[in-house]
Amino acid sequence: MTNEELVESLIEGGHLKTPAVIEAFRKVDRATFAPEREKPHAYENRPLALPAGQTISQPLTVAFMLELLEPKRGEKILDIGAGSGWQTALLAELVGNPLREPADGGGKIIAVERIEELWAFAATNLTNAGFMESGAVKLVHGDASEGYASEAPYDKIVAAAAGAVIPEAWKGQLKVGGRIIAPVGEAIVVLDKTGPEEFEERKFHGFRFVPLVSNR
Ligand code: SAH
């Protein structure tokens, strides 16, 4: 299979819909982000094994979450659980590159990963894909269960690891009008911040994620 075949199957399955999201999936080659042993499977619609028992999420799950997140040019997005950096790269494509597109204002992705080995792996992959030197991505080694306050507030927050609830800190670091997409248990939750203390929630069931692990 090729990356294009993966994209076509996600479009046919109804998982990829928005032209900008489709374009990002075309530009970011999943194989660049797969560990050597998983590269032959990079274009299959399934999770891929990462070191330390983690996974690169299934393409249809990432497509579903990014379609819900609706990333826009110029936005600042917190990406919790960078893993391989694949989703980080898709997000960076979607918010725009501040060097390539200064007229757009460019966006920024703050990606946080708690496992050092994966943080280093993501850094290598994002460098190979050209995102590190452009300044489009800030990759942080740390625990984002309390968010990442020093870059807050964010237009959007997306998490790839599931907790029991959406942490209060994430809600506080979100702009009014912003949106969080995060797994809670085996559901994907969409949380819209409609006022300083007001939120609207929707839930989609039937997904599996690695756990959000707190260092506290
Ligand atoms: N988006 C990633 C998916 C990685 S799986 C990709 O495209 O490859 C989820 C990741 O969340 C794992 O790497 C895990 O180590 C990380 N994670 C879990 N709890 C975390 C926390 N509290 N802070 C930051 N990262 C965390």
Render pLDDT for 69-91 as a digit per residue (tens, 0 to 9): 999 999 999 999 999 999 999 99
Between helix 59-69 and helix 3-12 the angle, nearest 10°, is 60
Q: What is the CA radius of gyration of the chain?
A: 16
pLDDT for 88 equals 98
Does residue 102 surpass a pLDDT of 70? no
Nearest CA to ligand 1 atom 18: 212
93 Cβ contact partners less than 8 Å away, ≥ 6 residues apart: 23, 24, 27, 28
In a domain, 58, yes or no: yes
Facing residues of 211 across strands? Answer: 162
Question: Would you say residue 201 lies in a domain?
Answer: yes
Could you give the percent of the chain with pLDDT greater than 70? 96
Specify the number of domains making up the chain: 1
What's the whole-model pTM score? Answer: 0.96
What is the Å distance from ligand 1's center to 122 Cα? 11
| pLDDT-derived band at 67, boundaries 50, 70, 90 | very high
Q: Tell me, yes or no, whether 141 lies in a domain.
A: yes
Those residues whose C-beta lies under 8 Å from the C-beta of residue 70, and which sit 6 or more positions away, are 18, 156, 179
Please state whether beta strands 55-56 and 48-49 pair in parallel, antiparallel, or not at all (unpaired): antiparallel
**CA angle (118, 54, 71) in 5-degree steps:** 75
Give domain status of residue 211, yes or no. no
79 found inside a domain? yes
Q: What is the CATH number of the domain that holds 115?
A: 3.40.50.150
Domain interval for residue 81: 3-205
Residue 216 resides in a domain? no
Query: Is 213 part of a structural domain of the chain?
Result: no
Using most ligand atoms within 8 A of CB, pick from 65, 110, 131, 213 the residue to mutate for ligand 1: 213
For 40, the token pair is 């032959």
- Look at residue 105 in the predicted model and tell me its pLDDT: 65
Is the pLDDT confidence value at 104 over 80?
A: no
If you average pLDDT over every residue of the chain, what do you get? 95
